């Protein structure tokens, strides 16, 4: 029977016969089949495989769209990454500003979608207006980096077994002809579903949906639970939130009757209390009424009451205020809309660890505008262990060479792990002849008292002789020049009892590498990563220059390279215990900064320079040390870890991270 209307004609005939014999049964059965039969079949099929409405490609001016012809609904999609990192109730104001700027109309819906590590924004509308889409896109670009995308429906039609399910009522036809009508109506619905629905890809579908129709209006409750709910939702592999404007007149109708009713009724008192809370939020916080619906990949016992539902994916693609939650604009802070942004690219990745939700946190070395880094952490919090772990992961990229300047021998185990050579300083130093006429080198000699101040501009000095003089003063006589290999650890432990000598050779080796890099052609792609541990040694001869800038020869050269972005083809990782040990401008110019946990007084300077908020500080001061995690981690079969806050440029994206540490770096030591 190819024409679906034939189902209806025969069903009407059966209905007429049944109506004559059993009018009540006929009316109830046929009405139920007609009104809810389609949802019943969608629910049955959805228990085996998620369905989604059929969508075809359409074009709205310059914008590609997925068009649902049955509902005349257009979906415009962008791949998106937030330009800021805000979470929980602290994100409420930004979310509200975005919502107000969008100025959504009654036929428009916005969806924020997280699928694995990819985020999307969907704009759904029944009116294909290019200028309106352009406005929405321009507003979203204030808060997200957008790349246009397209999300069509799957290709597989629902299976034919749906017809057999629809025909089940025929078995009851001997009892009443009404069941013939019911079966035929269900067959009509089955035909409709096979025509207008498709099987969804499992990874691109949602399995659960919020069931609460009224989330409540208490501001105190929102502030108490927003962060907890956002945390729980973010831990899901897939989640989405759909929101739309709720007409204020509907709010007036909802609560208007309560004011007109006798207040003796308890239900009226409750509604009046809710109305007063709603008005307070709207007047005090300028919130606006909205409809919202949250989807996920699992059940979640929150105020939104997210439950698994075979119809979840259908509801996701057919947004309808009748099935959505009544809320206010700040209630969107219950969803992590602005958390977890990243740079969009497909370059070389460095896995840092996992965020507070257990999701991998990666740094794309090739997409960052600046590849330089700063790692801060008080003694005992795993600073060198963390950097060694990251360096070991970085060394897996065979096209990156790794240089470590190691005052305390913390990276000798790293050299064994990655096959790098260890050069003991000052017994081995790089070929210093190239520094003979280097003005930064001459300034360095003046700063360490190896050359009179007036001679720095013109005098020439043998760099090796200067190095030997410092070494002899430290009690180490032999100084030999040797060309370093690509991967090398400069071990300064022979100078560990002479801080001034260590500071000189740390500065000298770094200066030599920077001079080598400065003489090479510009290269955007990072080829060398230089790690300088205990960077406080670089401040040994620093002075306060004009304008209050702390500087010396090496710091001046570091500024030149760090401000120059990626064009020198190398990255400098500066490692220090406290933010006080590094000039503020060098920290601020870094591509990423990792602040490990510590005491409140140790974080005082970092909090100001890195603009750490209350949640960041609380996470850092409650951090456990790697030594504390060794016992429990070993028992669980996992690695010890360090805890910190990672900030990525250029958008100050923040992550609370746990960094699994490489045990071999301690075992080999």
Pair 378, 298 in one domain: no
* Residue found by looking up tokens 């014999």 in the block: 21
Among residues 199, 232, 265, the one where a domain terminates is 199
Among 92-106, 185-199, 317-331, 655-669, the range scoring the smallest mean pLDDT is 655-669
Pair 627, 651 in one domain: yes
Asked if the structure places residue 342 within a domain, the reply is no
One-character DSSP codes across 370-431: ---EEEE--TTS-HHHHHHHHHHHHTTSTT-EEEEEETTSTTHHHHHHHT-EEEETTTEE--
Percent of the chain with pLDDT over 90: 42
Beta bridge partners of 532: 405, 574
Q: Are 596 and 656 in contact (CB under 8 A)?
A: no
3-state secondary structure of 74: strand
Pair 44, 70 in one domain: no
Q: Which domain holds residue 477?
A: 349-667
Among residues 142, 168, 199, the one where a domain terminates is 199
Pair 455, 536 in one domain: yes
Asked if the structure places residue 274 within a domain, the reply is no
Pair 507, 622 in one domain: yes
Instruction: Give the Cα separation of 408 and 499 in Å (integer).
Output: 11
* Averaged pLDDT for residues 23-37: 71
- β-pairing verdict for 592-596 and 373-376: parallel
Asked if the structure places residue 126 within a domain, the reply is yes
Contacts of 652 (CB under 8 A, 6+ apart): 84, 85, 611
Domain count, the chain: 3
Closest to 119 measured CA to CA, from 343, 311, 358? 343
371-413: pLDDT as tens digits: 889 999 998 899 999 999 999 999 998 889 999 999 999 999 9
Q: Which position has the higher pLDDT, 431 or 216?
A: 431
If one counts every other C-beta atom within 10 angstroms of the C-beta of residue 530, the result is 21
Give the model's confidence band at 633: pLDDT under 50 very low, under 70 low, under 90 confident, else very high: very low
Asked if the structure places residue 278 within a domain, the reply is no
Sign of CA pseudo-dihedral 195, 196, 202, 207: negative
- Tell whether the model's pLDDT for residue 1 goes beyond 60: no
Instruction: Give the Cα separation of 654 and 661 in Å (integer).
Output: 20
- pTM comes to 0.77
Q: What average pLDDT does the structure give for the chain? A: 84
The pLDDT value recorded for residue 390 is: 95
What are the φ/ψ torsions at residue 570 (nearest 5 degrees)?
A: -145, 165
Q: Are 52 and 165 in contact (CB under 8 A)?
A: no
Asked if the structure places residue 91 within a domain, the reply is yes
491-537: pLDDT as tens digits: 999 998 888 899 889 888 888 888 887 666 566 788 889 999 988 88
Q: Are 51 and 318 in contact (CB under 8 A)?
A: no
Pair 36, 125 in one domain: no
Sign of CA pseudo-dihedral 441, 443, 448, 451: positive
CA distances from 250 to 284, 326, 609 (A): 20, 11, 47
Instruction: Give the Cα separation of 618 and 621 in Å (integer).
Output: 5
End-to-end CA distance of the chain: 78
* Averaged pLDDT for residues 637-665: 86
Q: Are 515 and 431 in contact (CB under 8 A)?
A: no
Pair 301, 411 in one domain: no
Instruction: Give the Cα separation of 450 and 329 in Å (integer).
Output: 66
Pair 233, 319 in one domain: yes
**∠ at Cα 592 (590, 597), nearest 5°?**
115
CATH of the domain at 431: 3.40.50.300
* Residue found by looking up tokens 């604009």 in the block: 329
Among residues 174, 199, 224, the one where a domain terminates is 199
Pair 434, 292 in one domain: no
Instruction: Give the Cα separation of 71 and 86 in Å (integer).
Output: 36
* Averaged pLDDT for residues 433-442: 84
Helix axes 463-473, 499-518, angle to 10 degrees: 160
123-169: pLDDT as tens digits: 999 999 999 999 999 999 999 989 999 999 889 999 999 999 888 88
> Which helix (DSSP H) or strand (DSSP E) does residue 275 occupy?
helix 266-284
Asked if the structure places residue 256 within a domain, the reply is no
Buried b (16+ CB within 10 A) or exposed e, 294-332: bbbbeebebbbbbbebbbbbbbbbbbebeebbbbbbbbb
- Tell whether the model's pLDDT for residue 71 goes beyond 90: yes
Pair 43, 140 in one domain: no
Pair 369, 301 in one domain: no
CA 178 to chain centre: 56
DSSP label of 300 = B
* Residue found by looking up tokens 């060198």 in the block: 384
Q: Are 382 and 596 in contact (CB under 8 A)?
A: yes
3-state secondary structure of 366: coil
Asked if the structure places residue 343 within a domain, the reply is no
DSSP label of 214 = B
Sign of CA pseudo-dihedral 172, 178, 182, 184: positive
Give the model's confidence band at 459: pLDDT under 50 very low, under 70 low, under 90 confident, else very high: low
Asked if the structure places residue 339 within a domain, the reply is no
Pair 420, 537 in one domain: yes
What are the φ/ψ torsions at residue 301 (nearest 5 degrees)?
A: -85, 80
């Amino acid at each position: 029977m190819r024409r679906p209307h034939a189902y209806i004609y025969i069903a009407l005939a059966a209905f007429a016969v049944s109506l004559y014999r059993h009018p009540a049964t006929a009316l109830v059965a046929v009405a139920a089949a007609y009104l809810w039969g389609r949802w019943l079949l969608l629910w049955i099929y959805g228990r085996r495989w998620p369905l989604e409405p059929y969508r075809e490609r359409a074009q709205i001016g310059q914008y590609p769209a997925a068009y649902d012809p049955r509902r005349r609904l257009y979906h415009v999609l962008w791949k998106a990454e937030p330009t800021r990192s805000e979470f929980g109730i602290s994100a409420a104001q930004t979310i509200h500003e975005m919502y107000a700027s969008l100025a959504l109309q009654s036929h428009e819906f916005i969806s924020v979608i997280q699928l694995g590590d990819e985020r999307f924004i969907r704009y759904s509308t029944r009116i294909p207006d290019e200028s309106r889409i352009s406005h929405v896109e321009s507003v979203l670009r204030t808060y997200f980096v957008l790349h246009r995308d397209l999300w069509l429906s799957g290709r597989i039609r629902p299976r034919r077994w749906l017809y057999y399910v629809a025909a089940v009522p025929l078995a009851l036809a001997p009892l009443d002809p009404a069941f013939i009508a019911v079966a035929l109506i269900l067959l009509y619905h089955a035909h409709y579903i096979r025509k207008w629905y498709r099987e969804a890809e499992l990874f691109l579908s949602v399995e659960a949906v919020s069931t609460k129709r009224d989330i409540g209006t208490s501001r105190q409750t929102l502030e108490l639970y927003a962060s907890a709910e956002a945390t729980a939702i973010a831990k899901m592999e897939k989640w989405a939130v759909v929101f739309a404007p709720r007409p204020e007149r509907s709010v007036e109708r909802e609560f208007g009757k309560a004011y007109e009713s006798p207040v003796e009724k308890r239900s009226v008192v409750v509604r009046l209390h809710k109305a007063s809370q709603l008005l307070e939020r709207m007047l005090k916080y300028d919130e606006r009424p909205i409809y919202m619906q949250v989807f996920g990949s699992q059940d979640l016992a929150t105020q939104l009451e997210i439950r698994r539902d075979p119809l979840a994916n259908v509801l996701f693609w057919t947004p309808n205020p009748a099935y959505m939650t009544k809320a206010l604009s700040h209630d969107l802070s219950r969803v992590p809309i602005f958390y977890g942004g990243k740079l969009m690219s497909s370059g070389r990745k460095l896995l840092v660890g996992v965020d507070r939700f257990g999701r991998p946190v990666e740094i794309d070395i090739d997409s960052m505008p600046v590849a330089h880094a700063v790692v801060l952490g008080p003694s005992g919090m795993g600073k060198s262990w963390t950097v060694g772990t990251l360096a070991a992961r970085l060394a897996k990229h065979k096209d990156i060479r790794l240089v470590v300047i190691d005052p305390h021998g913390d990276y000798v185990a790293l050299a064994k792990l990655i096959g790098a050579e260890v050069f003991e300083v000052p017994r081995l130093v790089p070929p210093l002849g190239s520094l003979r006429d280097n003005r930064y080198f001459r300034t360095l000699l003046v700063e360490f008292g190896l050359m009179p101040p007036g001679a720095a501009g013109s005098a020439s000095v043998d760099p090796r002789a200067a190095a030997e003089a410092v070494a002899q003063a430290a009690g180490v006589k032999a100084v030999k020049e040797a060309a370093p290999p690509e991967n090398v650890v400069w071990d300064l432990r022979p100078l560990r009892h002479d801080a001034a000598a260590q500071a000189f050779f740390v500065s000298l080796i770094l200066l030599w590498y920077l001079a080598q890099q400065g003489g090479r052609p510009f290269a955007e792609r990072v080829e060398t990563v230089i790690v300088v541990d205990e960077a406080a040694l670089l401040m040994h001869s620093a002075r306060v220059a004009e304008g209050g800038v702390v500087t010396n020869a090496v710091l001046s050269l570091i500024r030149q390279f760090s401000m120059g972005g990626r064009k020198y083809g190398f990255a400098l990782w500066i490692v220090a215990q406290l933010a006080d040990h590094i000039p503020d401008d060098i920290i601020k110019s870094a591509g990423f900064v990792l602040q490990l946990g510590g005491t409140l007084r140790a974080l005082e300077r970092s909090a100001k320079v890195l603009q750490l908020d209350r949640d960041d500080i609380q996470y850092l001061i409650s951090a456990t040390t790697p030594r504390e995690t060794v016992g429990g981690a070993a028992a669980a079969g996992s690695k010890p870890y360090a805890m910190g806050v990672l900030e990525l440029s250029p958008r100050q994206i923040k992550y609370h991270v746990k960094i699994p540490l490489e045990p071999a770096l301690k075992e080999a030591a």
